[in-house]
Amino acid sequence: MVVVSTVQHPGDRQARPVKTPKQNPKQNPKQNPKQTPKQNPRPKPKPRTRTEPADGRAARSHRSRRAIVDAMRALHAEGDLRPTAPRVAERAGVSLRTVWQQFADMETLLVEAIRRDQEVLRSLTERIEPDQPLAPRIAQFTGQRARILEQMTPTWRAARLAEPFSVQLQRNKTLMLAKSQAELQAVFAPELATLDTQKRQQLLHGLQAISIWSYWESLRTELGLTPAQARALFEQTFAALLSAAGFR
């Protein structure tokens, strides 16, 4: 398509039409600030999340199961570390029969509650770059670990009571300790790499001993420290161990 304009040349009595190409706004967007992109008349539907089954009956079952798990976690947070099935059902707003339809026993429900807490834990975890100076890494690691330990405390207290009688909970604890040690090795790899095997293991064990939940629980309950006080002592002790090993 063209636009007809007039250009007056010297000696011409009348203007002659000159054909000029119509400007393409996509080729020169700066000269067309008011140009707006073409709207899509049929927007794509939002994808269904993995946690929402398409089938209506399956979706209701999923919501009931989630409500039961959340009820268990809420009771833990209130200090009820060994809630009965009727109490869980009442809190979840479902029948006792529904609880047993979803879970074979209370141990299975507790394991599922811990799995849900691990999902929360992953949402609280951010990568800490090991190439930073030591002081910022210590502050980031201890701050993040303190938030996680405080957040996970209610369910982990309940798990500690049931752990001696549950093979699955014992396995979960072993995996959690392994992940905790792997994170320490990744974040403080520059320092650990300079030590011989014996000193490296000694430092690694010391750092892990004060960054697992049992240490945090002793600060909060046995010493009666507030979360802020416990975090400050945790960071100071962590830095002191690294300093004693020659890292400042």
The confidence score (pLDDT) of residue 10 equals 41
Cα gap 231→218, rounded to integer Å: 12
What pLDDT shows up at residue 26? 47
pLDDT of residue 4: 40
For 167-181, the pLDDT digits (tens) are: 999 999 999 999 999
Q: How far apart are the first and last CA of the chain?
A: 73
Candidates 119, 59, 109; CA nearest to 89 is 109
Percent of the chain with pLDDT over 70: 77
What size, in residues, is the chain?
Answer: 248
Nearest to 91 by CA among 113, 119, 108: 113
Q: Which residues pair with 87 in a beta bridge?
A: none
Q: What's the CA gap between 127 and 146, in Å, rounded?
A: 15
Rounded to two decimals, the pTM is 0.71
Question: Cα–Cα distances in Å, from 72 out to 23, 59, 83, 103, 105?
Answer: 66, 20, 7, 12, 13
- How many C-beta neighbours within 10 Å does residue 185 have? 16
Over residues 37-63, the pLDDT tens digits come to: 444 444 444 334 445 565 667 888 899
Q: Give me the torsion for CA of 69, 70, 72, 74, rounded to 10°.
A: 170
> By the 8 A CB rule, do 149 and 213 touch?
yes
Q: Phi/psi class of residue 127: alpha, beta or left (left: φ > 0; alpha: ψ in -120 to 50)? A: beta
pLDDT top residue among 95 and 123 = 95
